[in-house]
Amino acid sequence: MPNATGLLRTVCFGMFVILSASNVAHADGPPFDLPVDCLNGECQIVHYVDHDAGPEIRDYACGTTTYNGHRGTDFAVPDEATMLSGVAVRSVADGTVAALREGVEDIDSGRVDAKDLAGIECGNGILINHADGWQSQYCHLRRGSLAVKQGDRVGRGQQIAEIGMSGQATFPHLHFNLRKDKQLVDPFSGTQMGASSVRDCAADNAVLWTPAARQQLVYKQVTLYGSGFAMARPNASDIKRGYGKERELPRSAPGLYFWAYLIGANDGDVIRLSLQSPNGKGGHRDFKIDLPNDQGPRAKWFFINMDRPGELWPAGTYRGEVTFTRTGAVPKMIGENTVTIR
């Protein structure tokens, strides 16, 4: 069976002209509410702030759910279909809209010439001034979804836009930045970017979020961005568009592929994909992360497949499982899917 891996890239360094905090008419600051309105757990944090000042990476919990130089927190939705359904972005606190950009197309930036994104890497975005020198920035918003204009006063929790894929983004997500006196601050560690040492690492840190927000923020060593079944070999673009998540397939389907897309894999991690037929037959395949050969944003996709045993598949329920093992830890199943063939 062929081995397939993919690489997810998104860099969010585009910034607006920052206006003076003296423009704030009515504002408040931390603790902050969540900037996303995600029902049924459809949003996941896939990248945190990178606290390592060198070429290595380290998120606030000393994990690898980040990439080199990442300056914010990425809240992702599963695919473009979810994005198009409309996922609200909300102001994390009372404030005043200091700047915004609208009109940038929602498109996978991997399909765009890099020079066409110069100066608009953040895509459609909003910058809000809060009290005491705090600012929040919201990037990659969906074109046409901005519900505020420059100078507007906004309330804590007010919808200001929707999650999109504009600017330098390769998957639908909100890139969220928080600043104090124009210095970037990680809302989990409460420190400036790069100021958190390995002695400060704690997965339960969420110091600048409200108690209600903290209840929804569970740190994961690795994130299962998506998994599912398809009748043909999937690719990264298909997965991000929402394809390859079949619940039923015909017995004449030419193939059966179980795939998984993970973010935050570390050197030596083992990802096991298992696939089992209704009669108990099947197998598994292990994929070991090998750095530096797997450098870059640590998003990888893998698949395992079965060959059709004859002209028709046996009818019934087929099951796929994703198991994650980090060196020194016990294996943990992080995802499972089923598909019915009839």
- Rounded to whole angstroms, the Cα distance separating 206 from 202 reads 9
Q: What is the pLDDT of residues 332-341, one digit of tens each?
A: 999 999 999 9
More reliable by pLDDT, 298 or 281: 281
> What is the distance of C-alpha 31 from the center of its chain?
23
User: For the chain, what percent of residues have pLDDT higher than 90?
Assistant: 60
Whether pLDDT at 9 is above 50: no
Residues 309 and 170 both lie in one domain: no
Q: Is 316 found in the same domain as 256?
A: yes
CATH number of domain containing 323: 2.60.40.3880
Higher pLDDT, 238 or 88: 88
Answer with the one of 156, 191, 214 that is the final residue of a domain.
214
Q: What is the pLDDT of residue 220?
A: 86
Same-domain check for residues 209 and 241: no
Considering 220-224, 235-239, 317-321, the range whose residues carry the highest mean pLDDT is 317-321
Whether the CB-CB separation of 138 and 113 falls below 8 Å is answered with no
Does any domain span residue 4? no
DSSP state letters, 89-130? EE-SSSEEEEEEE----B--GGGS-GGGGTT-TT-EEEEEE-
Q: Is residue 7 part of a domain?
A: no
Q: State yes or no: pLDDT of 326 exceeds 50.
A: yes
Q: 179 versus 22: which is more confidently predicted?
A: 179
Structure tokens at 163: 């999650």
Q: What is the pLDDT of residue 19?
A: 37
**Same-domain check for residues 276 and 190:** no
Whether 109 shows a pLDDT value over 60: the answer reads yes
Please check the confidence at residue 205 and state whether its pLDDT lies above 60.
yes
- Using alpha carbons, select from 39, 65, 33, 77 the residue that is nearest to residue 178: 33
| pLDDT top residue among 7 and 342 | 342
* Residue 65 pLDDT: 87
Rg (CA), the chain: 21
Contact between 18 and 135 under an 8 Å Cβ cutoff? The reply is: yes
Per-chain mean pLDDT for the chain: 87
In a domain, 11, yes or no: no
Query: Residue 248 is encoded by which pair of tokens?
Result: 């039923």
Classify residue 44: in a domain, yes or no.
yes
Residue 3 has pLDDT above 90, yes or no: no
Residues 228 and 207 in one domain: no
At residue 104, the pLDDT reads 96
State which amino acid sits at residue 129. Answer: N
Final residue belonging to a domain, choices 187, 214, 241:
214
Q: Is residue 185 part of a domain?
A: yes
Q: How many CA atoms lie within 13 A of 119 on its CB side?
A: 3
Select the more confidently predicted residue: 298 or 22: 298
Same domain flag for 134 and 280: no
Candidate from 96-100, 150-154, 174-178, 240-244 with smallest mean pLDDT:
240-244
The pLDDT tens digits for 16-64 are 443 333 333 345 889 999 999 875 556 789 999 999 988 888 999 988 8
Whole-angstrom distance, CA of residue 300 vs CA of residue 304: 14
Q: Is there a domain that residue 167 lies in?
A: yes
Tell whether 202 and 90 lie within a shared domain. yes
Distance CA 285, CA 124 (A): 41
3-state secondary structure 178-212: EEECCEEECCCCCCECCCCCHHHCCCCCCCCECHH
CA distance 38 to 77: 9
Name the residue range of residue 249's domain: 223-341
Domains of the chain: total:
2
Same domain for 208 and 63: yes
- Answer yes or no: do 196 and 271 share one domain: no
Higher pLDDT: 292 or 46? It is 46
254 with 108, same domain? no
Q: Using the 3D structure, point to which of 172, 187, 214 is the last residue of a domain.
A: 214
DSSP 8-state assignment for residue 124: E
Q: Pairing between strand 332-341 and 95-101?
A: unpaired
Do 324 and 230 belong together in one domain? yes
Residue 12 lies in a domain: no
The mean-pLDDT minimum among 203-207, 249-253, 288-292 falls in 288-292
pLDDT computed for residue 199 by the predictor: 84
Q: Using CA atoms in the order 80, 139, 76, 74, what is the torsion angle rounded to 10 degrees? A: 160
Same domain, 124 and 202: yes
In a domain, 1, yes or no: no
Q: Which residue has the tokens 């017995």?
A: 251
CA angle, residues 235, 238, 240, in degrees to nearest 5: 110
